[in-house]
Amino acid sequence: MSKKGQLLLWFITLVSFAGILAVYHKLPDRVPIHWNSSWEVDGTSDKNKMFLIGAVPALANGLFYVLPIIDPRRKNYDAKTYGLIRAVLVLLLVFLSWATVVTALDLGVNDKLMLSLIIGITFIAMGNYLPKVKSNFFVGIKNPWALSDPVIWRKTHKVGGYFFFIIGLFMLPMGVIDTALYSNIVIWLLLTGILGVNIYSYLLYRKNFGA
């Protein structure tokens, strides 16, 4: 990520936090902090937690500076790919913090549509970038078999990228397909896919090393 891109990301996170502080007094005593598989609020907390929720994007952005420094495989960090993944995840946290605000203030926004689009787009973006991530200890699909061999890592992340992209496409229409059945199908596809990618990685290890 370029220096301008880094500055822009910091600007967005800090403005987001300032905005949350500005609307804090308008928030109800309880704010939503958790949504179920149908994107319906099923958990709330005292609004004081908004200080932490608002700060999380900036804290995460700072953490992304630290990871390449402490990772023994720091040489495998491609600045462009790592920067894009960082931007996607930090912006996701910004959107989620404001989803809490918008829902708490009952602004008439379709929560289900908003969240399904945000999460779906994030999965699609991650699906595009995952195959470009080289072996490291913090970013990607970090099971022991992928970490043990760069070829297994590459193949695992290629399959994982396809999976993330496809599941993201399935998530996008969750906001307009207002049925619990479809939401449950997507969740089961997500869980099954995560398991499947890890099994694929294990089978590659068994094939290559016979252990």
Per-residue model confidence (pLDDT) at position 10: 96
Q: What averages of pLDDT result for each successive group of 10 residues across the chain (211 residues)?
A: 88 96 93 78 87 95 95 94 94 93 86 87 95 95 95 96 96 86 91 96 91 59
d(CA 183, CA 189): 10
Per-residue model confidence (pLDDT) at position 119: 92
Per-residue model confidence (pLDDT) at position 211: 59
Cβ(40)–Cβ(110) below 8 Å: no
- What are the residues whose beta carbons fall under 8 Å from the beta carbon of 50, sequence distance 6 or more? 20, 24, 27, 31, 100, 101
Detail the DSSP E strand segments found in the chain: 30-35, 41-46
Number of separate domains in the chain: 1
d(CA 84, CA 62): 15
Q: Which two tokens stand for residue 81?
A: 């790919």
Which residues form the domain of 155? Answer: 3-209
- Predicted TM-score (pTM) of this structure: 0.88
Cβ(167)–Cβ(189) below 8 Å: yes
Instruction: Indicate left, alpha or beta for 106 from its phi (over 0: left) and psi (-120 to 50: alpha).
Output: left
